[in-house]
Amino acid sequence: MKVYTINDNPYINKPVVTIGIFDGVHKGHKYILKSLIERARETGGKSVVITLWPHPRIVLDKDMWNFKLLHSQEEKIHHLSKLGLDYYIVIPFNTELASMAACDFVQQYLVDKLHVSRLILGYDNTFGRDRQGSPDSLASCAERSGLIVEKLDELKLSEVNISSTTVRNALLEGNLEASRELLDYDYYLEGTVIMGNQLGRKLGYPTANINPQSAYKLIPRDGVYAVHIEYKNVLYPGMLNVGIRPTIDSANPVKVIEAHLFDQDIDLYDQEVVIHFRKRIRDEKKFPNLEGLKQQLQEDEREIKTYFSSN
């Protein structure tokens, strides 16, 4: 898959295009992208994904306290590149583009710049000023431009609406089973290991404190998880806590992400790792003392090792 910005002015033979953010590249996205690839092959053209970056909510500063993404731009490109797409084109998003009417966007970017003849859109795909560019509303301006707009049917999974929002909500509820069903893979988090207070080592559970690579990356609900820690392409089983560590840091509650590798002694400080979330075990708890915390960690370890041995 070749990656460009629109300012690179790429020449693409018979581009068949879809537009979207494609956060998470979930099953609904894959349904659209598979249809895109099939149409491109049928017409002897090239499959092209067009996206906007930075994310519109970042530029427009909309509800930023609650804004989280399933994928960084790099992670998204990685997932899309495995699907057999030909091109990925980024249009830099700014306030000027936000004010552009959908028909003007289609004419300026799709028709004039890329010479697109076919646009594939999901049933609820919208873009342009006030999100007025839907498959139905684009019919008149598309006809003037000689552009064929194809609206795909909705894809549902067991009566559940497949969307990035549905996936985010599942992760924020700690429902990894639901997120896995929608994504078709285990949710993961990339980050750098930073220095912690090293109290875990005194308890017999040294931890790697993870600083996420992206400030906008969604962190699943607080609690204890069975995870695989990927380091240099090797997966190590372990357990992870997301939360404020109330037994230790009750006076200074700052959310941390700390992972313990089972039966390993690897110096991970300043190293890049990937956390693959497999199963949520329990809520974070406050214990009366460190001994109570240690006993719970031992129980967590036994439960998670049993989970891994049976999965």
Average pLDDT over residues 182-204: 86
How confident is the model over 129-158, as a mean pLDDT? 75
138-144: list long-range contacts, CB under 8 Å, 24+ apart: 138/102, 138/103, 138/106, 140/103, 141/102, 141/103, 141/106, 141/107, 142/106
Check whether residue 141 and residue 197 sit in a common domain.
no
Domain boundary among 103, 126, 161: 161
Q: Specify if 20 maps to a domain.
A: yes
Residue 64, pLDDT > 80, answer no
Answer whether residue 133 shows pLDDT above 70: no
Same domain, 29 and 143: yes
Note whether residue 212 is domain-resident. Answer: yes
Average pLDDT over residues 151-155: 83
Helix (H) or strand (E) holding 160: strand 160-161
Same domain, 145 and 78: yes
Residue 284 has pLDDT above 80, yes or no: yes
Considering the domain architecture, whether residues 19 and 150 belong to the same structural domain is answered as: yes
Range of the domain at 67: 2-161
Domain assignment of residue 115, yes or no: yes
Q: Does 19 reside within a domain? A: yes
Same domain, 151 and 203: no
Residues 227 and 139 in one domain: no
Q: For residue range 47-59, list pLDDT tens digits in order.
A: 999 999 998 888 8
**Domain boundary residue among 107, 127, 161?**
161
- Per-residue pLDDT, averaged over 190-203, amounts to 80
Q: What is the CATH number of the domain that holds 25?
A: 3.40.50.620
In terms of domains, do 224 and 261 share one? yes
pLDDT at 39 over 80: yes
Give the pLDDT score at 93.
93
Q: Do 98 and 60 contact (CB within 8 A), yes or no?
A: yes
Which of 47, 62, 139, 48 is CA-nearest to residue 93?
A: 62
Q: Which of 241, 250, 245, 246 is nearest to 281 (CA)?
A: 241
Whether 43 and 107 share a structural domain: yes
Whether 85 is in a domain gets the answer: yes
Q: What CATH number is attached to the domain comprising 303?
A: 2.40.30.30
* Mean pLDDT over the full length of the chain: 90
Q: Is the dihedral of CA 210, 211, 217, 223 positive or negative?
A: positive
Same-domain status, 300 and 251: yes
Residue 249: inside a domain: yes
Claim to verify: residue 44 and residue 119 sit in the same structural domain: yes
The whole-number pLDDT of residue 130 equals 58
Residue 284 belongs to a domain: yes
User: Does any domain span residue 167?
Assistant: no
- Using the predicted structure, report yes or no on whether residue 249 has a pLDDT greater than 70: no
Does 24 share its domain with 102?
A: yes
Beta-sheet strands, E only, within 213-255: 223-231, 234-243
pLDDT score of 250: 54
66-123 pLDDT tens trace: 789 999 999 999 999 999 999 999 999 999 998 888 888 888 999 999 999 899 988 7
Q: Which residue has the higher pLDDT, 87 or 134?
A: 87
The one-letter amino acid code at 263 reads: D
Which pLDDT score, from 0 to 100, does residue 252 have?
A: 58
User: Which residue type, as a one-letter code, is found at position 170?
Assistant: A
Total of domains in the chain = 2
Residues 181-192 pLDDT 10s:
999 999 999 999
